Amino acid sequence: MTHTVTGAMPSHADPATRASELAAENQALRARMAYLLEQAERNHSIMCRHQAFDLDIVGAGTFPELVGTIFRNLPVISELESVTLTLIDEDADIRTVMGKLGVVFADFPHLIFVEQVDELGFDLGRRNASTPAPKPLLGMYDPARHALPFPNAPAGLQSVALVPLMRNKRIIGCLNLGSVDPTRFTPSLGTDFIEHMASIIAICLENVISNEMLKYIGLTDSLTGVYNRRYLDRRLLEEIARARRQRYPISLMFIDIDHFKRVNDTVGHQGGDDVLREVAGRIKDELRLSDALARFGGEEFVVLLIDADLDSAAFVAERIRASVAGTLIGLTQEVRLSVTVSIGVACLDPDQAVGEPELVARDLLARADGALYQAKEGGRNRVIRHLPA
Ligand SMILES: Nc1nc2c(ncn2[C@@H]2O[C@H](COP(=O)(O)OP(=O)(O)OP(=O)(O)O)[C@@H](O)[C@H]2O)c(=O)[nH]1
């Protein structure tokens, strides 16, 4: 929209003509003012929406909360038809950890992972510490060229901006913006605003990913990759509360590798570690996703089974026992070991789970541990249930 305003030219016309000229000039100035005001208000509103967005993403505490906020809010506040995010995840660490923390990637169809930075499509040349960050790529949407950043492109997509996400001179991914307006992203457009937005998103992503990684490390056993005791203690309290509310039983297994000292003595500590990893894997293979497996320390594992009574827990325990005992564990081509486990199982009946959750948890653990002791005493390589009195 353009407005032309008549300049204040001296007029030699008669007073009536002069008055009507001034009135027209005045009206044009008012229209111009109204237009500028409208623009200022619009810009102010965009600024406010972006500030609110920045606060939302800075406040996101988890990875799904952050990417969810970006995909939900950015298209609305920026009036875009498509917003996607590509993250570089060389060794699939982000996907592995987020998956273990319960992130369901199917919930985020606009989240794309690539292994290598050159898959993002920027002209990177030879980069070193002083090379400036690559500039955003703006231009017409090309279905073939933009298939990776826009896997589910909305109908009528016309122009796109691929904005690198930088952290400490390193490209961590790309923010992909798409519009049905062909003039929205043209190569000549200034990119300061979208670069600023991408820099905030990059900081938030890095923070949240580091936090999730730390959370994961704090809750898992570094040797076997299964949960650790701290996680299980916490989860057990939550599950006791939920089982009481929803009135279903939960069961707990104590699993201990038999004569593990002998294993260490025979194949050394490294070999013993390999056996621990293999046993953890075999236990895991027999469990449902909702069950939790933790290494409790040494050669002892605990499994928490949700919505499982004593019979079904003992059935799973028997499968685990058979799986460990059934196939030799191969440490090298030559060294193959026969390993067995003893398992104690106890169940928490929601009707009897009264009292402080900490005491209920301690009692359940003690009952399963007591059953394990009986399994050891009874000759090992067996499952013993703790029968309610
Ligand atoms: N390789 C390895 N060994 C461990 C680890 N943690 C504990 N151990 C060993 O596990 C063995 C446990 O031995 P014990 O508690 O005597 O029990 P056991 O030999 O398994 O005998 P039973 O449980 O009675 O069948 C000890 O030798 C520990 O040194 C570990 O992280 N790696």
Q: What's the rounded mean pLDDT across residues 294-317?
A: 96
d(CA 216, CA 221): 10
If you measure from the C-alpha of residue 214 to the centroid of ligand 1, how many angstroms do you get, rounded to a whole number?
A: 28
If you measure from the C-alpha of residue 263 to the centroid of ligand 1, how many angstroms do you get, rounded to a whole number?
A: 8
Domain-located, residue 359? yes
Return the structure tokens found at 24.
Answer: 């027209």
pTM (two decimals): 0.69
Q: 158 and 37 in one domain?
A: yes
Domain-located, residue 5? no
pLDDT score recorded for residue 229: 95
Q: What percent of the chain has pLDDT over 70?
A: 95
Domain-located, residue 234? yes
pLDDT score recorded for residue 4: 46
Q: 233 and 203 in one domain?
A: no
- The complex's ipTM works out to 0.95
Q: 201 and 256 in one domain?
A: no
- Using pLDDT thresholds of 50, 70 and 90, give the confidence band for residue 270: very high
pLDDT score recorded for residue 314: 98
Q: 81 and 28 in one domain?
A: yes
**Structural domain that includes position 305:** 229-385
Report the domain count for the chain. Answer: 2
Domain-located, residue 11? no
d(CA 124, CA 122): 6
- Domain final residue, candidates 170, 194, 217: 217
If you measure from the C-alpha of residue 323 to the centroid of ligand 1, how many angstroms do you get, rounded to a whole number?
A: 20
pLDDT at 353 over 80: no
Q: 176 and 323 in one domain?
A: no
If you measure from the C-alpha of residue 117 to the centroid of ligand 1, how many angstroms do you get, rounded to a whole number?
A: 45
Q: From atom 18 of ligand 1, which residue's Cα is the shortest distance away?
A: 259
List the CATH number of the domain containing 107.
3.30.450.40
List the CATH number of the domain containing 267.
3.30.70.270
Q: From atom 24 of ligand 1, which residue's Cα is the shortest distance away?
A: 259
pLDDT digits (tens, 9 = 90+) for 144-157: 999 999 999 999 99
DSSP 331: S
- Closest ligand 1 atom to the C-alpha of 257? 20
Total Cβ atoms within 10 A of residue 115: 11
Domain-located, residue 222? no
- Closest ligand 1 atom to the C-alpha of 270? 1
pLDDT at 12 over 80: no
pLDDT score recorded for residue 1: 45
Q: From atom 14 of ligand 1, which residue's Cα is the shortest distance away?
A: 261
Pocket of ligand 1 (CB under 6 A): 223, 256-261, 264, 269, 272-273, 276, 298-299, 376, 380
Of 45-54, 190-199, 341-350, 361-370, the range with the lowest mean pLDDT is 45-54
- Using pLDDT thresholds of 50, 70 and 90, give the confidence band for residue 26: very high
pLDDT score recorded for residue 95: 95
Q: From atom 21 of ligand 1, which residue's Cα is the shortest distance away?
A: 259
- DSSP code string of 117-145: GGGG-----S--TTSPPPPPEEEE--TTT
pLDDT digits (tens, 9 = 90+) for 183-218: 999 999 889 999 999 999 999 999 999 999 988 889
